[in-house]
Structure 1
């Protein structure tokens, strides 16, 4: 049987640095990770900002072209892999969920730092030329601090990274300001997506979420079609299928076991849903990995 694709914990990458946070130049980091399996998952937040090189980077089965001054932000559990071209360099930051636990539990911060929410559509940022020097300055400052042994090292690192995150949020927000302030429908949709992440293993029908959101199922469906072009039911099913894809990279799990883990009592129904959403069976998808 083929070896399963692993989920890596932050300790594997820590070496002499703190187990809670790792900040390194990208080129030597990649040389030390040559034996890393792809695709794979992490149990920590994983940020890469490229300053040179090319190729592609896949996050949750969606492919992006690598370009200098593109940043990629991955949350715990997301599947990713890469195919590099040329000389690659940049910066990598890994930090545990506990490192920023206070603001990661705060909805206001999560709204501001949407690139940390584990949604592929928010995972990539194009750093504008006018902001590149500011971003690099903060990254270099973090590199120096992570090698220090000061009493308040971790707190200083939190401050530096918060400044970086606010800068990245402002960069991403510039284009979004053209669409105007977030309206009520967008707030409902954002809350709906968050509830799906929390409850998709148990709640499968739009009416269940509409009740939690204090709206009607019809209104919830209208919002999804207006803002995303898909139905509320499809949004729920897409999240189930994403989790199925993440599990399918583990070659030691059978399709039946995956269906059970996803709370399907009928394996055939799971396979039918997967094929309806992706156009292929779980077995065929697994062969494409």
Structure 2
């Protein structure tokens, strides 16, 4: 496989890039920030997604949304691969009925984007990447649909493995519970800047707030109020670290009219003030 291959037609774009030491500066730059990304990494890699560190102990797939921060901290001995594409090429929201991965592989409430691959699944994943690479090289008139077909297979297979690895068995086997998990996740990700209470999401789901709380308890999930607040805090961390906005500006952006209340919430959730978190993060990054 070449170090980078690219398919581009009109506004549609998909690329495949080798994850090797000489490419790390580019991969960790802003170059791919706007794309949906899938990392396929052998063992021995360390990757930070937002503020969570993931270490690969087996061949693994990591799914990264355009709004997430990604940095490969350590490179393993064997090369990995990065596939990146835009929503014009394949939008998981529009095609949700085909792959049902939104809220699981991408944008999930627990920030669990990693799938570890058993040997037989790693072989199939190698096959899919080889086929995508071959199609790009072939440059045939039908390659766009072929690449999209292989990408869909990758997403469907990964979603099945993700459910086995990250969800309680009872949840993954009950379609109704799984859809509730996904729907709540997606609603929080869309509305967390303005809707901060369980009652807000109960209205969106047309159920009673107590029903949400009971479902979360039955599914062995954190309290729904904590899920909502944790999503707000994650966004606040991103804005503190990756922008120059003040804590007051961030509070207003996240729907809090009282910046002092927001600062207390941030301190309660992280153990640090917004300004303290920013200073600490940038200090560690420099070291």
Query: TM-score, normalization: structure 2?
Result: 0.83
Number of matched pairs? 273
Indicate yes or no: 2:22 matched with 1:23: no
User: Where does residue 5 of structure 1 map in the other structure?
Assistant: none
- Structure 1 spans left out of the alignment, 5+ residues: 1-12
Moved over 6 A (4+): 38-41
The equivalences for 1:79-98 within 5 A come to 79-98=69-88
Q: CA deviation at 1:21?
A: 0.5
The answer for the alignment partner of 2:149 in structure 1 is 159
Distance change >3 Å, CA 164–CA 263, structure 1 → 2: same
Query: In structure 1, the residue corresponding to 2:145 is in which secondary structure?
Result: helix
Alignment CA distance shift 1:148-1:243 (3 Å): same
Between the aligned partners of 1:86 and 1:35, the Cα distance in structure 2 is: 17
Which of 255, 258, 261 in structure 2 is aligned with 1:269?
Answer: 261
Q: Structure 2: 5+ residue runs without aligned partners?
A: 282-287
What secondary structure is seen at the aligned counterpart in 2 of 1:99? coil
RMSD: 2.8
Residue 254 to residue 41, structure 1, CA distance change in 2 (3 Å)? farther
Question: Equivalences for 1:103-182 in 2 at 5 Å?
Answer: 103-109=92-98, 111-112=100-101, 115-119=104-108, 121-174=111-164, 178-179=169-170, 181-182=173-174
- Report which stretch shifted further, 110-119 or 209-218: 110-119
Alignment deviations for residues 65-85 of structure 1 (CA, whole Å, 9 cap, x no partner): 123411111111012222115
Partner of 1:279: 271
Contact 1:210/1:216 (8 A) holds in 2: yes
Q: Which residue of 2 aligns with 1:208?
A: 200
Cα drift, residue 147 of structure 1: 2.6
Q: Against the structure 1 CA distance between its residues 114 and 206, is the aligned structure 2 distance closer, same or farther, given a 3 Å change threshold? A: closer
Where does residue 42 of structure 1 map in the other structure?
A: 33
Cα shift at 1:251:
4.2
CA contact under 8 A between 1:220 and 1:232: conserved in structure 2? yes
Preserved CA contact (<8 Å) 1:50 1:90: yes
Specify the SS of the correspondent of 2:42: strand
Query: Residues 149 and 252 from structure 1, CA distance in 2 versus in 1: closer, same or farther, beyond 3 angstroms?
Result: same
Please, which moves more after superposition, 224-233 or 195-204?
A: 224-233
Question: Larger RCO: Structure 1 or Structure 2 (Cα < 8 Å, ≥ 6 residues apart)?
Answer: 1
